[in-house]
Amino acid sequence: MEFKRVVGTRRSVRWLKPWRPVEREKIQVMLEAANRASRSMNADYPRALVVNRDDIPEEVRETLYNPTTSVELDLAPTYIFWYIDMNYAQGAPDRLKELVKQHALSPSHGWSESYVDKFLWPQVLKPIAENPAILMFMGATEVGIAICNALNAAVDEGLGTCLHAFTAPEKVKQAFNVPDSWFPVWLQLVGYPLEEPEAGGQRPRKSLSYMFFEGNCDTPWKEDEKVTEKLKEEGLIQTPGPFPYREQEVRMLSRMFGLPE
Amino acid sequence: MSVENIKTVESVKHWIEDAGYNSPKRSQEVEHLLNELSDFCDFTEKDPDELVESCLRTTKSGDISISAKGRREIDDTIGEFVKSKGLSGHNAIVVGNNIRGFLIHNGVFMQGKVSL
């Protein structure tokens, strides 16, 4: 799928085929996409635990359910538990110097190994590493970028996926030996869409002129209609929801699984 | 609480309308749902509004919020109710989820089991 169509097609797919497992290769594609995401300091922020629903012992699965999380866990054949490794700042000087050696960070932009050792680490990065609020902010931002790649990769692989509030983090930690330094972020549910791939149509978004600005924040971004039309042709902008049959689609799916209408 | 009485309760009327059960084609279905809710009210000795209220709490600032404890208790009670009717499998899940549907349409976020 072309990049723009992937981004335009991505939306939270909550109806997944519970009977169809996801091929391991496709999960690897998602993980690789996440691993290739932008990351400051080239640090290892994202950590993920991939678990197939049917491989989880029944007694462990039961502990993951609660009155607000059960439908998704039953419908999705694969779960990816995403974490921030809160130790991500460790080793930052070495990683940055590696980038200097590779000329990814170069003197043209002010970089040198000496700068990393003498100033950047002791005066900038070490204080960040010692500040829990900044550590959390940066970790959440960077892991979010990685997850975004994984979401888009899933769409490109023909999968349905959505993010869900992390369920029972302490129980997951205990059941799957999650290290102490990992902080839970999102539970990504993965499977083959049971609903139409459009999942009722593209979700509503405010216009670019509402969201973004140019030059200063008093000047809204002005859309070029020709570009907008091109993006419609290329699939970044798609038919907005709800499709005329959406209500019926959800009703039928609900009945299929005995869920509330 | 009788089905006739239940029909007049605002929270029940809201449920029927919000879930789209109010089309003439679905009148039999509605009757069936109301019977189940009526039975559940008898089982819990609560009226429909009290069922919703039991899932809510008032915060220190005076706001109404969902009570995790209350919701869990009602969820457990739904399980007991279904068991008391001798239901199992798909039917048990459907009846339980119908009652959850009443609470959901009245603002109580919750999920039930999936019939697989």
Contact between A70 and B19 using a beta-carbon 8 Å cutoff:
no
**pLDDT single digits (tens) B14-38:** 999 999 998 888 888 899 999 999 9
Give domain status of residue B9, yes or no.
yes
**Bigger pLDDT: B25 or B84?**
B84
Enumerate residues 4 to 43 of chain A having a beta carbon within 8 A of any beta carbon in chain B: 18
**Bigger pLDDT: B38 or B3?**
B38
What is the overall mean pLDDT for chain B?
Answer: 94
**Is the minimum CB–CB distance between A260 and chain B shorter than 8 Å?**
yes
Partner-chain residue, chosen from B21, B71, B114, that has the shortest CB–CB distance to A259: B114
Find the closest chain B residue to A74 by CA distance.
Answer: B114
Contact between A74 and B116 using a beta-carbon 8 Å cutoff:
yes
* φ, ψ (nearest 5 deg) of residue B81: -60, -45
Angle between helices B68-84 and B27-44 (to 10 degrees): 110
Question: Residues A247, A253, A259, B1: is their CA dihedral positive or negative?
Answer: positive
Find the closest chain A residue to B16 by CA distance.
Answer: A261
The C-alpha atoms of residue A253 and residue B7 are separated, in whole angstroms, by: 27
- CB-CB neighbors (< 8 A) of B111 in chain A: 67-72
Give the total number of structural domains in chain B. Answer: 1
Give domain status of residue B114, yes or no.
no
Give domain status of residue B116, yes or no.
no
Give domain status of residue B95, yes or no.
yes
Give domain status of residue B10, yes or no.
yes
Give domain status of residue B110, yes or no.
no
Q: Which domain holds residue B23?
A: 3-104
| DSSP run (H or E) holding A147 | helix A132-156
Find the closest chain B residue to A62 by CA distance.
Answer: B113
Among candidate residues B48, B43, B64, the one with its CA nearest the CA of residue B15: B48
pLDDT under 50 in chain A at which residues?
none
pLDDT at A113: 96
Contacts within 8 Å (CB) and 24+ apart, B72-80: B72/A66, B72/A67, B74/B103, B75/A67, B75/B100, B75/B110, B75/B112, B77/B43, B77/B44, B78/B40, B78/B112, B80/B43
- CB-CB neighbors (< 8 A) of A75 in chain B: 114
pTM score > 0.95 for this model?
A: no
**pLDDT single digits (tens) A211-227:** 999 999 999 999 999 99
Domains, in order of start, for chain A = 3-194 (3.40.109.10)
Give domain status of residue B109, yes or no.
no
